[in-house]
Structure 1
Amino acid sequence: MHHAQSIARLITELGKLPGVGPKTAQRLTYHLLNSPRENSLALSKAIREAVDKVTYCSVCSNFTDIDPCFICRDEKRDKSIICVVEEPGDIVAIEKTREYKGHYHVLQGIISPIDGIGPEQLKVKELLARITHQPKDNLEVIIALGSSVEGEATSMYLAKILRPLGIKVTRIAHGLPVGGALEYADEVTLAKAFEGRIELF
């Protein structure tokens, strides 16, 4: 063993984070141990507080520490538009554009048969329930999923089940790179993608 047990454990836990390899985990561990004690404890407290308090919004499935989330509670937002995204991080990316003023619905994933993820594992039933309780006249559902094979398949599936309900179903234009994740797109690209959205048939 090259490290004390407690250090090795911290390296192992940090190494479980996405994009963090063994060397990065070790560097982060050493940084935390060399930092002032109060800084490291503040990080530990912030993690525990987030884990204890953050849950999913009962309306849109976004992360929140107050239910419903601040977006769903905002009376100024347009209730006639629901933007469907894959994960909470996508909402942050879209909000940075300051162009979109509607509501959201987080699927908590995309259809991926190879990973055993079908529509049943996603928040599709919840989306349908929301739509059922809203006036259909001016309702628009914007599908804002990435352009990967799985994202495309999920978009087509959603369009297929939403169109018969008599609502407008559009998807954002793909000025986004094929296979690219929404959360990594810059604000201008995302804003243009919303402007150029097309109706799904």
Structure 2
Amino acid sequence: MAKSIAGPEIERLIQLLAKLPGLGPRSARRAALHLVKRREQLLGPLAGAMAEANESVRTCSNCGNVDTRDPCTICADPGRDRSTLIVVEDVSDLWALERAKALNAAYHVLGGVLSPLEGIGPEELNIARLVERVAEGGIAEIVIAVNATVEGQTTAHYLMDQLEGFDIKITRLAHGVPVGGELDYLDEGTLSAAMRSRTKF
């Protein structure tokens, strides 16, 4: 076991930073050292912002987004097209679609995907609330915007089964060649999906 070279407080900071996505132990040590060196400019304000976020951040009871209000800013926005509902796996996917400004619609966050191996079934996901929202009426189209993984596609098929009795249009994101992509650099699965999803020119 490696001997600690810093006090327990700094070691705890490093351990917590290492749990963040994209930060391993080495990157966490560098980040912790940078924060400690700049206590006044970074560490203090960061600690304050994190404490404030911990107190004020809520999960939207309507869609599953995170915000400082419930319902969230998106659900409360009167300018949204509420007839279209985009279903995503996680809040990060919602944020990505919002950055792209692809569609000014409402959202529904599942909180993950079905994964029997990890013990994640329908009860662990925000699926019951999705069915409730559709049953309440006013939704004409559901866009299933889950990742193109095996679990994502399994979840998409399960959602289609759950929504089968409703008079709504169900669509999914197109899969295939990305904008600016070169065919030679794409994997076989992406090329096959692009060929199956070909559209009229």
**Which bin holds the TM-score, normalised by the shorter protein?**
0.7 to 0.9
**Other-structure match for 1:25:** 28
Larger radius of gyration: 2
Q: How does 1:27-46 map to 2 (within 5 A)?
A: 27-46=30-49
Q: CA deviation at 1:36?
A: 4.1
Aligned length: 178
**Other-structure match for 1:13:** 16
Are residues 124 and 176 of structure 1, via their aligned partners in 2, closer, same or farther at CA, if it must alter by over 3 Å? farther
Amino acid at match of 1:66: R
**Other-structure match for 2:60:** 57
Question: 8 Å contact 1:107–1:124 — kept in the other structure?
Answer: yes
Q: Secondary structure at the match of 1:19?
A: coil
Are residues 176 and 73 of structure 1, via their aligned partners in 2, closer, same or farther at CA, if it must alter by over 3 Å? farther
Q: CA deviation at 1:91?
A: 1.1
5+ residue gaps, structure 1: 178-192
5+ residue gaps, structure 2: 179-193
Amino acid at match of 1:150: E
Q: Distance in 2 between matches of 1:176 and 1:84?
A: 22
Amino acid at match of 2:102: E
**Other-structure match for 1:189:** none
Is 1:71 aligned to residue 69 of structure 2? no
**Other-structure match for 1:97:** 100
Q: CA deviation at 1:74?
A: 1.1
Is 1:4 aligned to residue 13 of structure 2? no
Identify which range, 13-22 or 145-154, moves more after superposition: 13-22
**Other-structure match for 1:131:** 134
**Other-structure match for 2:168:** 167
**Other-structure match for 2:156:** 155
118, 122, 132: which one pairs with 1:119? 122
Q: Distance in 2 between matches of 1:6 and 1:161?
A: 49
Q: Distance in 2 between matches of 1:84 and 1:63?
A: 15
> Which of the pair has the greater relative contact order for Cα pairs under 8 Å at 6+ separation?
1
Are residues 38 and 135 of structure 1, via their aligned partners in 2, closer, same or farther at CA, if it must alter by over 3 Å? closer
Q: CA deviation at 1:175?
A: 3.1
Q: Distance in 1 between matches of 2:70 and 2:177?
A: 32
Q: Distance in 1 between matches of 2:20 and 2:127?
A: 28
Q: Distance in 2 between matches of 1:115 and 1:5?
A: 34
Q: For residues 68-112 of structure 1, what are the alpha-carbon distances to aligned partners after superposition, in whole Å with 9 as ceiling and x for unaligned?
A: 111111111111110000111111111122220110000011111
Q: Distance in 1 between matches of 2:114 and 2:41?
A: 43
Runs of 4+ in 1 over 3 A off after TM superposition: none
Amino acid at match of 2:21: P
Q: For residues 160-197 of structure 1, what are the alpha-carbon distances to aligned partners after superposition, in whole Å with 9 as ceiling and x for unaligned?
A: 111222221111111378xxxxxxxxxxxxxxx9xx8x
Amino acid at match of 2:173: I
Q: Secondary structure at the match of 1:2?
A: coil
Amino acid at match of 1:156: H
Q: Secondary structure at the match of 2:163?
A: helix
> Identity, % of aligned pairs?
41
Q: CA deviation at 1:2?
A: 2.0
